[in-house]
């Protein structure tokens, strides 16, 4: 690669980083600006909007509700997605391509349509599920499964099958091989899938807005309703808290994985098995 090519690649990557991070930085600046409407450089800085975001009751209720929904949806998505990814990667069954397409299909459907479909389902068949943590989480599971299957499937694709074959040759059953050999080696993609699924569910608006009764909302829906009533920097402040919280969660997960020695562990084990 020539010097010019390196320079062009560096400029392109820098432009992509600026394009992605600039909107986030603007939100962060607006959340601590004294200006009600940020049209240029801020005239001053204040923590007033952050304090109002923390003390605003709908935001506090929505935060707790969002955490509950995201936790349930992530747990169910992992419970369904991990076995599905394993069957697709290792099952060797006919129709695996159709099964893979079935799990990817929800990505092609607009989330507004998904939310409205679940609203009609709950209103006509399961009215008691409308507005409950389980009812909203079930709708989110449909959105999370494609990501869980894809991320866990990538981890299985990088896992040497000879490790599983060795376990079976030593007398372990299929379930023992999965729990003692396969699962420990895909802990990193599994953790990444869990964090990604949790953040995706926590931040979901389009589907959730159809499933929220009056007085009970997730945090993103509460922000949406606040914007309809009052467009002040309080919404920027709570959005900034969500951005910082997401980065902290991702960073803590990466730090925990690094300290546990999982980074590169799969590659070392695979190389050891081949040798």
Q: DSSP string spanning 206-270?
A: TTGGGG--TT---HHHHHHHHHHH--SHHHHHHHHHHHHHHHHHHHHHHHHHHHTT-TTHHHHHH
Q: Indicate if 95 and 8 belong to the same structural domain.
A: no
Residues 16 and 106 in one domain: no
Residues 15 and 69 in one domain: no
pLDDT tens, position by position, 188-246: 889 889 999 999 999 998 898 888 887 788 898 888 888 888 778 888 899 899 989 98
Q: List the CATH number of the domain containing 93.
A: 1.10.3720.10
Q: Give the domain range for residue 162.
A: 58-274
Closest CA to 241 of 56, 74, 68, 16: 56
Q: Are residues 172 and 115 part of one domain?
A: yes
The answer to whether residue 253 sits within a structural domain is yes
Claim to verify: residue 84 and residue 143 sit in the same structural domain: yes
pTM: 0.83
> Does 31 share its domain with 67?
no
For residue range 134-176, list pLDDT tens digits in order.
999 999 999 999 999 988 988 888 887 787 778 877 777 778 8
Q: With the CA atoms of 85, 88, 90 and 94 taken in that order, what torsion angle do they form, in degrees rounded to the nearest 10?
A: 160
Is 53 inside a domain boundary? no
Is the domain of 73 the same as that of 9?
Answer: no
Query: In terms of domains, do 34 and 84 share one?
Result: no
């Amino acid at each position: 690669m020539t010097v010019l090519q390196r320079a062009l690649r560096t400029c392109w990557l820098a432009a992509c980083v600026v394009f992605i991070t600039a909107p986030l930085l603007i939100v962060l600046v607006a959340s601590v600006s004294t200006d009600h409407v940020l049209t240029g450089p801020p005239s001053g800085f204040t923590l007033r909007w952050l304090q109002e975001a923390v003390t605003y009751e709908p935001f506090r209720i929505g935060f707790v509700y969002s955490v509950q929904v995201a936790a349930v949806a992530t747990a169910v998505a992992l419970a369904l997605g991990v076995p599905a990814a394993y069957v697709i990667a290792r099952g060797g069954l006919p129709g695996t391509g159709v099964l893979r397409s079935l799990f990817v299909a929800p990505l092609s459907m607009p989330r507004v349509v998904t939310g409205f479909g679940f609203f009609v389902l709950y209103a006509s068949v399961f009215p008691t599920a409308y507005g409950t943590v389980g009812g909203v989480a079930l709708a989110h599971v449909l959105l999370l499964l494609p990501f869980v299957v894809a991320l866990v499937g990538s981890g299985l694709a990088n896992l040497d099958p000879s490790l599983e074959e060795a376990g079976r040759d030593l007398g372990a059953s299929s379930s023992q091989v999965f729990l003692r050999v396969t699962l420990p080696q895909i802990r990193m993609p599994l953790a990444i899938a869990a964090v990604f699924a949790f953040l995706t569910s926590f931040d979901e608006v389009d589907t959730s807005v159809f499933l929220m009764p009056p007085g009970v909302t997730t945090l993103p829906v509460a922000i949406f309703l606040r914007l309809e009533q009052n467009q002040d920097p309080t919404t920027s402040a709570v959005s900034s808290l969500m951005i910082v919280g997401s980065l902290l969660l991702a960073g803590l997960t990466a730090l925990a994985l690094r300290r546990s020695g999982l980074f590169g562990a799969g590659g070392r084990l695979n190389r050891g098995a081949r040798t």
